[in-house]
Homo-oligomer: A and B are copies of this chain.
Amino acid sequence: MQGQSQQQAYDRGITIFSPDGRLYQVEYAREAVKRGTASVGVRAENGVVLAADKRARSPLMEPESIEKLHKADDHVGVASAGHVADARQLIDFARRQAQVNRLRYGEPVGIETLTKNITDHIQQYTQVGGARPFGVALIVGGIEDGEPRLFETDPSGTPYEWQALSIGSDRSDLRDYLEEEYEEGLSTEEALGLALDTLAQSNDGELAPDGVGVATITVDDDDGYSERSNEEIEAILEERDLLASEEDEEADAEDGDDADEADDEE
């Protein structure tokens, strides 16, 4: 009860420290991330795989318009979870940073450099008054000097590098699954399979082809970032026995109706 009223004191106004040294607005922004559907990133031997849960709230909604996977540059992809509109701001920021780097140094921006540009930008919104923190987490994956790299940004502005990770809803469960199943030296296709297996964990083990997005950024490819078509995804899901039946899919969409009031997290 007391904890309750004390906590309230830190909700108003700008982002300030609580007596135990926490930034509540940042922690609440993390809750906004958890309200979004999951995204998964897996680092393979020669590339990075990003997969995202893109279930639509209605069969009339175009699945492609659910923005969870973004190409930040030829060699960089970003998956997001949380407040969609905030994610767009950070993606735009990342694209501008990547462009500036090409213009200034004549070469693609490093994945670590780009990630830290983003997290430093995020941090400003947690320290200086007059704005709220960003309610979104990002997985930033790409190729740097011929090596795949995979990073995370969170609402506090902290950058971390991972071999494989998930962000968004059911984060803990999906991470447990990844910790058990991940191993080094995966081929890109194996990594892609693991990413989909992981995503399916929070969907009763099944996924609908147009409820999922998959992107790969590979060392060998000329084009770097590429997204898989619905048909390719369907083939893989079938192969891995993850394909949802039509009925399930519709039921999902209808369940989505109840969540309609607060539908700005994905």
Pairwise interchain contact B261-A30, C-beta atoms closer than 8 A: yes
Asked whether any CB of chain B lies closer than 8 Å to the CB of A33, the reply is yes
Are B22 and A18 neighbours in the complex by a CB distance under 8 Å? no
Considering the chains assembled together, what is the distance between the CA atoms of A64 and B31 in angstroms?
A: 27
Contact A16 B25 (CB under 8 A): yes
Comparing A160-168, A210-218, A237-245, the segment that makes contact with chain B is A160-168
Q: Contact between A135 and B23 (Cβ–Cβ < 8 Å)?
A: yes
- Cβ contact of A119, chosen from B21, B24, B85, B122, cutoff 8 A: B85
A88→B119 contact, CB < 8 A: yes
Q: Are A17 and B133 in contact (CB under 8 A)?
A: yes
In this complex, how many residues of chain A approach chain B with their Cβ under 8 Å: the count is: 89
Is the beta-carbon distance between B30 and A22 smaller than 8 angstroms?
no
A95 CB, min distance to chain B CBs, angstroms = 12
Residues of B within 8 A of A11 (CB): 9-10, 16, 18-19
Q: Produce 1/0 per residue, A121-137, CB < 8 A to B.
A: 01101111111111100
Q: How far is the CA of A240 from the CA of B118 in the complex (A)?
A: 41
* Candidates B22, B89, B127, B157; contact of A262 at CB < 8 Å: B22
Quick check: A86 and B127 within 8 Å, CB to CB? Answer: yes
CA distance A225 to B46 in the complex (A): 32
Those 3 A-B pairs whose CB atoms lie nearest each other, nearest first: A21-B31, A65-B161, A85-B157
Contacts from A to B (Cβ < 8 Å): 2, 4, 6-35, 58-62, 64-67, 83-86, 88-89, 92, 116, 119-120, 122-123, 125-135, 151, 154, 156-165, 171-172, 175, 178-179, 182, 257, 260-265
15 residue pairs from A and B, CB less than 8 Å apart: A2-B4, A8-B9, A9-B12, A10-B11, A23-B132, A27-B262, A58-B162, A60-B163, A65-B161, A84-B156, A88-B119, A125-B127, A127-B134, A156-B264, A158-B264
Beyond the given A4-B6, A17-B133, A85-B120, please list 11 additional residue pairs across the A-B interface where CB-CB is below 8 A.
A9-B11, A9-B12, A12-B16, A17-B135, A19-B28, A21-B34, A23-B132, A27-B261, A60-B164, A85-B158, A88-B123
